[in-house]
Amino acid sequence: MYTLTNMYPTSLAFSNEELRGLLDLSKQYKATYGKDSTMPGTEAPKPLTGKSVSMIFQKRSTRTRVSTETGMNLLGGHALFLGPSDIQLGVNESMRDTANVLSRFNSIILARVYGHDDIVELSKHATVPIINALSDLHHPLQTLADLMALEDHFGDLKGKTLAWVGDGNNVLHDLMIGAAKLGMNVNVATPAGYEANSRIVDITKKLADENGGKVFLTAVADEAVTGSDVVVTDTWVSMGQEEEYAKRIEEFAGYEVNSSLMAKANDGAVFLHCLPRHPEEVTDEVFYSEQSLVFPEAENRMWTVMAVMAAQLGKA
């Protein structure tokens, strides 16, 4: 039986072996419950029967909600959505009290929040596993989906080079950690003033050294993409940053992923975007091309959150 550590606040929360186990379990679930499975749905295992997950959403998301609700159902459990109108985390009721109450009702608490401190506080007081479904500092579930998509396409990722082009945000933080753990090289291009968190960069460099990879930082998109096998970008304006839209669009000039930029990558290079995408970030020519893995990547959000939930509860 494969069991994951109870708390899942960041991709730093698990070892290389646990990362490997989660990816393998995700692929197993896709084979068992996916549309290409030959196993009738009525005969598929239901290891989370009688279990439930409360899903706290301070920030909306199509993929996180649908993947978690559907995935929990496939595993035999129940998912409960708690949006901003249902629960005001830390407002009408303290974080500590919310964690204690939900721990008495549910088997797992999944939270998609603004500040990472909310995840830390929930983890401190909950008596059931916590899943960080996104905070301003980390997005570990997205990293699992991305790495699964890349392994499905390439196989072993050791020695491959991943290029990030865009904002040094939460998605990048966990992706570079996960990529380094698998022995990938990580190239990061961010505009001045939008660099990744320096502490997380230092941790990534250490992980890269331990696993045979390298980390390269630049402010020039072409430099990051040249010689890469994977090109990744994300939104330039995250939820809560709408007032900065005009400023960010101007300062991210030259960071659009287009066919010219992709041509600087290695032959056979692929493109990732966690969605939703906006036209200034990537052209349709790239987004809908054969190089794009964005929709398998999105599908993998379900298989990977299923793996995390089952592993956390010792039901994998």
Asked if the peptide bond before residue 276 counts as cis, ω within 30 degrees of 0, the response is: yes
Cβ–Cβ < 8 Å for 133, 144 = no
Cβ contacts of 77-80, under 8 Å, gap ≥ 24: 77/48, 77/49, 77/50, 77/51, 77/52, 77/53, 77/107, 77/309, 78/51, 78/52, 78/53, 79/52, 79/53, 79/55, 80/52, 80/53, 80/54, 80/55, 80/106
Residues 237, 145: Cα–Cα separation, whole Å: 22
Which residue among the candidates 165, 274, 302, 310 is catalytic per the annotation?
A: 274
d(CA 160, CA 259): 21
**DSSP, residue by residue, 146-163:** HHHHHHHHHS--TT-EEE
- Torsion sign, CA atoms 299, 303, 304, 306: positive
191 in catalytic set:
no
Alpha helices in 155-216 (DSSP H): 170-181, 198-211
Say which residue the tokens 């419950």 belong to.
33
Instruction: List the catalytic residues.
Output: 274
